[in-house]
Amino acid sequence: MRKLRVAFGMEDEKTLSPEHFGDSKFFLIYDVFENGTYTLVGKRINTARKIAERVHGDPRKFKAVVELLKNVDILAAFRMGPNFLRIRDQSDKVPFITGTRKLDEALEKIVKNFEKLFIESEKKKMNKTF
């Protein structure tokens, strides 16, 4: 069965962070399956937050987040920051803006958009140019 591994930028266990993805307190990692089910895989503390930004959207933070979430396909957030374009253009990750801070609603949006996200993720894996 096809699946996507999704990292949600979190404020607490049920609420996505109001901050930019890279400023989330931690990430909850879920496997989302094509049949609409999902399973919590784990939690990762966002160690990239410790990187002092010289400028807003510091590329060092982008690299640290991508490395921390290297086995993840989709980066899901209520709000993406200045590194949104770097994530999209310079990584094998697909950024996804949820439009909600409620984790249960964000998961359902991933399920609803599974096919589109899966295709985008597969394209990125096949066309690795970063």
Which tens digit of pLDDT belongs to each residue from 36-74? 999 999 999 999 887 765 556 677 888 899 999 999 999
DSSP assigned state of 113: T
Place of tokens 């993805």: 21
CATH class of 3-126: alpha beta
Closest Cα to residue 41, out of 51, 33, 49, 31? 31
pLDDT class for 129, splitting at 50, 70, 90? low
Quote the pLDDT of residue 89.
Answer: 86
Give how far Cα 47 sits from Cα of 11, 61, 112, 125, Å: 14, 10, 30, 25
Encoded tokens for 92: 């094998």
The predicted model gives 17-39 an average pLDDT of 95
Closest Cα to residue 31, out of 42, 20, 23? 42
